[in-house]
Amino acid sequence: MFNIIEINKTLNTFTNIKKVWISPAQNKMGLLDGKVAIITGASRGIGKEIAKEFINQGATVAFTYLSSDEKAKALEVELSANGGTIKGFKSNAADYDSAHELSDAVMKEFGKIDILVNNAGITRDNLLMRMSEEQWDEVINTNLKSVYNLTKAVLKPMLKARIGSIINMSSVVGVSGNAGQSNYSASKAGMIGFTKSIAQELGSRNIRCNAIAPGFIETEMTAALDEKVVQGWRDSIPLKRGGSPKDVANTTVFLASDMSAYVTGQTINVCGGMLM
């Protein structure tokens, strides 16, 4: 015979178990599960898409911004909607002290730093004969000095953990050069040299450093350009289309994940065949 008292006890036990809601982001295994990432310049375009894909792959994301607190908060809300963890930090990547304060704040908030994506960048295009010293310095400081600042800032926690992935967002013009962009090209070429050097310095500590060189990527900025000009650029690319921010973000996920555990010191061109 069934023991009614024991059955009731069992039913009561299951009834009293606390129900835990698991979000879609928590309910799947991601390539970046358990990793903490810093992404500079993630408020729009490529940086925003990288943050989005990192969240989708299970990472905790700390992103930097310079201007609007409201926009940063909106990005936090948007990207955490499915249960991901993301927090914005107001920080100037081009400032050495700010970079170190950011690293300390992220360590205090999340306890570790596994991934650094140096994505902050600007352009001040002009022919050299018309380029001011201010235009040169502004681009070099924002695009290249920021890479030194942030990489130096995350070294201590990565060395202590004996693991890390540093990803520097370069450009095809850092490989090929481009008229009217000597400052931008120099900053992006400098990134590639920095990447190779850091890969050699830190490889024995299991810290990898790679660069990505995007080609023509269609963003909200390119949407404002003349369509005939944009189509001409598309037609000159072997894949006959511009890249999307997600194309770059997917490559960044690969380099941030253990899928690329034996890849360091490399520059991956995400350009549809523009460079071969």
164-169 β-sheet, strand order:
86-90, 60-65, 36-39, 115-118, 164-169, 207-214, 267-270
138's tokens: 């502004």
Is 184 tagged catalytic?
A: yes
Residue 13 within any structural domain of the chain: no
Residue 7 within any structural domain of the chain: no
CATH number for the domain harbouring residue 56: 3.40.50.720
In tens digits, what is the pLDDT along the chain, a chain of 276 residues?
Answer: 445 545 455 445 444 433 333 444 445 689 999 999 999 999 889 999 999 999 999 999 999 998 888 989 999 999 999 888 999 999 999 999 999 999 999 999 999 999 999 999 999 999 999 999 999 999 999 999 999 999 999 999 999 999 999 999 999 999 999 999 999 999 999 999 999 999 999 999 999 999 999 999 998 777 777 898 889 999 999 999 999 999 999 999 999 999 999 999 999 999 999 998
Residue 27 within any structural domain of the chain: no
89's tokens: 């930090």
> How far from chain centre, in Å, is Cα 192?
16
Residue 222 within any structural domain of the chain: yes
235's tokens: 């037609």
Backbone dihedral region of 112: left (phi > 0), alpha (psi from -120 to 50 degrees) or beta?
beta
- Tokens 């369509």 label which residue? 227
DSSP state of 66: S
Residue 158 within any structural domain of the chain: yes
Domains identified in the chain, total number: 1
204's tokens: 């024995």
Q: What is the pLDDT of residue 135?
A: 97
> What sign results for the dihedral spanned by CA atoms 171, 172, 174, 180?
negative
Burial environment of residue 96 by CB neighbours within 10 A (0 to 12, 13 to 18, 19 or more) = middle
Backbone dihedral region of 34: left (phi > 0), alpha (psi from -120 to 50 degrees) or beta?
left
Question: Of these residues, 65, 96, 148, 184, which one is catalytic?
Answer: 184
Residue 11 within any structural domain of the chain: no
Q: Are 95 and 149 in contact (CB under 8 A)?
A: yes
Domain hosting residue 61, numbered range:
32-270
